[in-house]
Structure 1
Amino acid sequence: MMDRRIALIKILIRADDAISSTSLSKRLGVSKKTILNDLKAIQSQYLDKDLQITKKSGIGIKLTGSAVSRQQLADSIDSYGVIGIDGMQERQLDFLMNLFLSNENIYIKNIAFDSFISRTTVNRDIREINQNFLAKYELKIKNTQNGLVVVGKEEKKRLALARIVLLKCDRKLQFMAIKSDDFVQNMQKLLGLNLEPLIDLVNKLQTDFHVRFAINSQRSLLVHLAVSIVRIKVSAVTNDNKTVQKEMIKHQNELKILKNNLTSIENVYEVSFDNEELYLIFLHVISSKQVGSENESNSSDAFQLQVEEFVNKVSLDTGKAYFNDNELCDSLILHLQIAITRVRFGMRIDNPFLKYVLENNFDLFVALKNNISIVLTSDYEIPDTEIAYVAIHFMASEEKIKEAPRVIVLCAMGLGVGQLLLQRVKSYFPNYSILGAVSLEDLKNYTSKDVDLVISTINLEGRTDLNYIVVNPLQDLSKINMGSSLELNKSRQKKLNIDFSDKDCLFISEPGEKRDLLKKTSKWLVYQGKAKSNYFNVLLKRESVGSTYIGNGTALIHGKYDEESLPASLSIIRLGKKVKWDEEHDVSMLLNFIPTDEKKADFAVLFKRIGKSIDNTEFWEKIISSDAVTMAKLFNEEFNL
């Protein structure tokens, strides 16, 4: 009964027009009396004052109320928890699933009839699915004489279908084991397959290949196997690929083991895996290996040198001594060898830590993104999820390389008074690394890479970007709060050689949907001479690999990090209406940045300052409500630009 009422609610939410009780009874296989009883129960149990079920003789039954209330109802009763995921509604996910799994021709009129929606709505759904989801996989729905078809490479279709299955079955993959009843039961119902033989296969492969799979990797492998089987059953085969044939020669022994394991699966499901299918499954196996599952790395000396260069560059950009962690390079080599395979073959993985990394270590994320091409070839698009996994290694390393804060004592000449203060500081703070006493003239030789805190007898405002505290040489030093002194005070930050200007502020009263907004923004930036003519495509490509949302209704949009022959720029785009940005967030403002090599360091510092301010809701609300002149002024004051 509960399932039937949930199904009835979903039909009413999706429907554009009123539906007769006869149509509903036929659709759900019950009498009209049962439908009317269900509607009464739904009104009392599920609907609030903003939503009403209206019944009009000769017209039918309709759910009335605001779009927001309808969406909230959909979210609350969605058994899969995927409303709005990846820019698609559940109706659109179901529609796309049907296209991938059906052997029959599917026409727009059939979808409209089955879903109780108009053909106009179906056409709109097709456009949104193409733009918001399939474009990421280089796929597209086309309307042909034989009905609707998904056009593109079979490998990409399977990646898209696997993503849908994961979305439909469970959003929180990282918290559940492979045999989770909810996940398996939902997936079996979705695909019409008994998954027990595939679960046994996944577990056996770990034994035969002497590896451990992370839980979300087990899920991904299970989904890939199931998707391969259902696609083979609808006669969809992978393309002949010469590159794959060459790669197979390198892994003959492993492929033989895999082939032996798949024989029983072929018999159970009455399918046959050709060499292309076999190699795709093998790729999922080796890309699912958990870091640390092997004792040794098979990396070349050249790759080890690349990883060392990568660590050194990230250390330089962030001002942190990651190169002092001897174990970091080893763990990165193991991780990157697997990541290279995923990137090369377009195998995307979920990363539950992406949001945490962006919110808490944005400057590290930017440094990694700037330098990742050293170890992962720039011929392939590198998703933010992969970069965030690399960030986890660096974040773990930070805990290892933490040392006693480095302190210098400063006075005008660095002599008498400075030496007196030096001895007192050493006495009061024995756990700190006291580097010595310096003069004001010598201060210019120190950066944040050398010193954590300056204890000074002189006010250093506007003279340094270092943390500092002003003291009297003879005061009671025990009352100094050294911990808070190590936190950078924005009023003492060095001014950066970039800034926001009201001339670089655009207000868009009717932004439309996300794609429309990016198009309008890129057109304006090109007109202003701040971006190249292909910037719209550059922005779309960047958004396809991960959300640029940073918090408080703001997205930080950008293309490549080092645009050639363009001036460095910061632009503000204010919106008259909120725009759906990703599955969880709406935006009211965009910040676009285009750095140059000359200004890269300034931008890195700015990102760090933005990261520290992003949770200051009061500041960002003030920004949104201000005019262009005030907005630019507030930004420049907050970030000391």
Structure 2
Amino acid sequence: MSQITTRQRDLIQILTNSNDNIGISTLADYLGLSPRQVQYDLVQIRPWLGKRGITLVMKPGVGVQLGISEVQKTQITTELLHSTKIQLVLTPQQRQQLILFLFLTSDEAIILNHLTYVLQVSRTTILKDLEFIEIWFQQREIRFLRKPNFGFQIDCSEKQRRESLALFLWGNSEDFESPLFQMSHLDGLWFAFQDDVEKLEILANTNSILKEFNTRRVIRRVTFAEAQLGGRFTDDAVLYLSLVFAIQAYRVNQKKYLDFPENEVKWVKERPVWVTARQISKKLITDPYFEWTDTEIAYIAMQLISVPRNERWPGDLDAGIQLNQIIDQLMEIIADRNGHPHLLNDPVLREGIVIHTIPALFRKKFQLLYPFQSNYHTERQMETLDMETAQEIITRISEQFNIQPPLEEIENIALLIRAAVIRDRSNHIGKVIVVCPSGMATAQLLIARLRAHFPRLNKLEVVSMRDVMQKQTLDANLIITTIPFSLPKHNNITILQVHPLLLPEDIEKITRFLNNLASSGL
């Protein structure tokens, strides 16, 4: 065997980097393959490894391991990195994803011969892939046109094209076991074959378009929007906005524009978010002579106010007293159903309901999509009462505003309710020590925020670092600190480090601790 495939190369790399036995199922998970495919590849790579003096040891019920020295590891790693004798073999799902990307980014018809050439497969294989492609588009209400002697083409609005492309590139679709594309804060838009683009023309073409998106640069534009608007998006929302705006800039550069009703564009232009949207448009395309249409700027503004956020933004409740009244009613429902009257005035719960409701209203108004991810695999993992209460909350919101939030929003509301119940139970916590060496002003600010978010916490006491280290905390149940430190091993007091401003992730951390404490029955 003189050549190996890229899949087999990845398998060899995993085995080379491991000093222990690895199970077949574990290898399958790493590679996104079936156990049978892994077993097939193991048989194929054995002679290739043997020519290099490396043995492949397979122990039934134990796993797979290489008989390899450190010198051989270095040699193999170098060879795999620089070898040109590696054959790229795409799976059907990989081909289909590349074809989908090609159709979603192309406005012209694509002929069958072109697909066979760029993918290096037969016409029969491509025609079978196109059967899946057609169904995929039909499920999204996009027409897939087959034009004799002309080629294949999709027929949809510009908005449909952009949203379908964004959700596809988001990478969490259930259509594919191993997505080729995925968004992350570290890499921006990641492409699975970015290191193998020279092996196939369609990979090179795909990678070239992805480079034009430049999502890592666009992420900075989204954080600029946060600063201008005075709030923070959720982490996923930052990534999704970056992807949406990158696609938008790419399409606008090609003179492909959206079409929205004039009254919606006028409504957005009258809002403060318009100024921020206009500033972002100038940063997305740096050509000083490029003119953005009002519709495209409006689309930026619509997206900014329609994605999930971590906190209420200035002016969020300017929608009118009707929203305040419905939120009051929802708080009463939660307090009554849980038998916790204190929940009626829980500021964190109220804010959580508000910041989940307002973006949902805007998504309904502008008919925008968002790639929600489920927090749980089954509803049984949620507290039954919380899910029932959350369902009633969603029903009330649906009736009042004619929107139907997805299941994931019901789960989010249930999580908010669970966190509020835990906070309400937290009066069984004894003494809580707060350590904040930067000064009394900062310490008092932190204390105030803790009391606002956890009103049932008792005996919050500021203690200096010296007193903590001198064991003046033996009667404390919890230490909340703004700097890292540890106590002697025999001391079982829990230490939680937080930011002086008590950020959302800090609130989640404390809530999780209280939840675990309540679950343990302490």
Residue 203 and residue 125 in structure 1: after superposition, are their counterparts in 2 closer, same or farther (change >3 A)?
same
Aligned residue in 2 for 1:230: 250
Aligned residue in 1 for 2:357: 336
Aligned residue in 2 for 1:166: 170
The 8 Å contact of residues 368 and 387 in structure 1, kept in 2 or not, is answered as: yes
The 8 Å contact of residues 212 and 289 in structure 1, kept in 2 or not, is answered as: no
Aligned residue in 2 for 1:242: 262
Aligned residue in 2 for 1:622: none
How far apart, CA to CA, are the structure 2 residues paired with 1:325 and 1:135? 48
Q: CA offset at residue 310 of structure 1?
A: 3.4
Aligned residue in 2 for 1:398: 421
How far apart, CA to CA, are the structure 2 residues paired with 1:107 and 1:8? 32
The 8 Å contact of residues 111 and 122 in structure 1, kept in 2 or not, is answered as: yes
The 8 Å contact of residues 101 and 234 in structure 1, kept in 2 or not, is answered as: no
Q: CA offset at residue 182 of structure 1?
A: 7.4
Per-residue CA deviation, residues 590-641 of structure 1 (Å, 9 max, x unaligned), is xxxxxxxxxxxxxxxxxxxxxxxxxxxxxxxxxxxxxxxxxxxxxxxxxxxx
Answering whether residue 322 of structure 2 is matched by residue 302 of structure 1, we say: yes
Aligned residue in 2 for 1:254: 273
Aligned residue in 1 for 2:198: none
The 8 Å contact of residues 269 and 298 in structure 2, kept in 1 or not, is answered as: no
Per-residue CA deviation, residues 305-344 of structure 1 (Å, 9 max, x unaligned), is 2233334456667777685453223331233112221344
How far apart, CA to CA, are the structure 1 residues paired with 2:297 and 2:108? 27
Q: Structure 2 regions of 5+ residues with no counterpart?
A: 11-36, 46-89, 172-178, 195-205, 429-522
Q: CA offset at residue 161 of structure 1?
A: 0.4
**Which of the numbers 220, 228, 240 marks the counterpart of 1:220?**
240
Amino acid at match of 2:373: N
Aligned residue in 2 for 1:101: 105
Q: CA offset at residue 221 of structure 1?
A: 0.9
How far apart, CA to CA, are the structure 1 residues paired with 2:391 and 2:253? 41
**Which of the numbers 125, 138, 155 marks the counterpart of 1:151?**
155
Residue 92 and residue 188 in structure 1: after superposition, are their counterparts in 2 closer, same or farther (change >3 A)?
closer
Q: CA offset at residue 241 of structure 1?
A: 2.0
Amino acid at match of 1:226: A
Q: CA offset at residue 95 of structure 1?
A: 0.7
Aligned residue in 2 for 1:347: 369
Answering whether residue 382 of structure 2 is matched by residue 382 of structure 1, we say: no
How far apart, CA to CA, are the structure 2 residues paired with 1:309 and 1:293? 19
Q: CA offset at residue 263 of structure 1?
A: 2.0
The 8 Å contact of residues 365 and 391 in structure 1, kept in 2 or not, is answered as: yes
How far apart, CA to CA, are the structure 2 residues paired with 1:389 and 1:343? 18
Per-residue CA deviation, residues 521-561 of structure 1 (Å, 9 max, x unaligned), is xxxxxxxxxxxxxxxxxxxxxxxxxxxxxxxxxxxxxxxxx
Per-residue CA deviation, residues 477-531 of structure 1 (Å, 9 max, x unaligned), is xxxxxxxxxxxxxxxxxxxxxxxxxxxxxxxxxxxxxxxxxxxxxxxxxxxxxxx
The 8 Å contact of residues 240 and 276 in structure 1, kept in 2 or not, is answered as: yes
The 8 Å contact of residues 241 and 304 in structure 2, kept in 1 or not, is answered as: yes
Amino acid at match of 2:410: I
- Tell me the TM-score normalised to structure 2 length: 0.53
How far apart, CA to CA, are the structure 1 residues paired with 2:288 and 2:246? 10
**Which of the numbers 209, 225, 231 marks the counterpart of 1:205?**
225
What is the number of residues matched between the two proteins?
331
Per-residue CA deviation, residues 38-97 of structure 1 (Å, 9 max, x unaligned), is xxxxxxxx953477669xxxxxxxxxxxxxxxxxxxxxxxxxxxx99xxx9332221111
The 8 Å contact of residues 229 and 269 in structure 1, kept in 2 or not, is answered as: no
The 8 Å contact of residues 145 and 153 in structure 2, kept in 1 or not, is answered as: yes
**Which of the numbers 41, 48, 51 marks the counterpart of 2:39?**
48
How far apart, CA to CA, are the structure 2 residues paired with 1:9 and 1:278? 46
The 8 Å contact of residues 134 and 144 in structure 2, kept in 1 or not, is answered as: yes
The 8 Å contact of residues 274 and 297 in structure 2, kept in 1 or not, is answered as: yes
Q: For 1:267, what is the secondary structure of its paired residue? A: coil
Aligned residue in 1 for 2:142: 139
Q: For 1:106, what is the secondary structure of its paired residue? A: coil
Deviates more, 1:219-228 or 1:258-267: 258-267
Aligned residue in 2 for 1:469: none
Q: Structure 1 regions of 5+ residues with no counterpart?
A: 11-45, 55-82, 406-641
Residue 123 and residue 373 in structure 1: after superposition, are their counterparts in 2 closer, same or farther (change >3 A)?
farther
The 8 Å contact of residues 181 and 191 in structure 2, kept in 1 or not, is answered as: no
Q: Over aligned residues, Cα RMSD in angstroms? A: 4.1
- Tell me the TM-score normalised to structure 1 length: 0.44
Aligned residue in 2 for 1:552: none
Per-residue CA deviation, residues 244-267 of structure 1 (Å, 9 max, x unaligned), is 22422432x431332134224323
Residue 264 and residue 382 in structure 1: after superposition, are their counterparts in 2 closer, same or farther (change >3 A)?
closer
The 8 Å contact of residues 325 and 397 in structure 1, kept in 2 or not, is answered as: no
What percent of counterpart residues are identical? 14
Q: CA offset at residue 6 of structure 1?
A: 1.8
Q: For 2:153, what is the secondary structure of its paired residue? A: strand
Amino acid at match of 1:101: T
Deviates more, 1:155-164 or 1:368-377: 368-377
Residue 261 and residue 242 in structure 1: after superposition, are their counterparts in 2 closer, same or farther (change >3 A)?
closer
How far apart, CA to CA, are the structure 2 residues paired with 1:325 and 1:379? 27
Q: For 1:237, what is the secondary structure of its paired residue? A: coil
The 8 Å contact of residues 215 and 243 in structure 2, kept in 1 or not, is answered as: no
How far apart, CA to CA, are the structure 1 residues paired with 2:120 and 2:8? 12
The 8 Å contact of residues 184 and 195 in structure 1, kept in 2 or not, is answered as: no
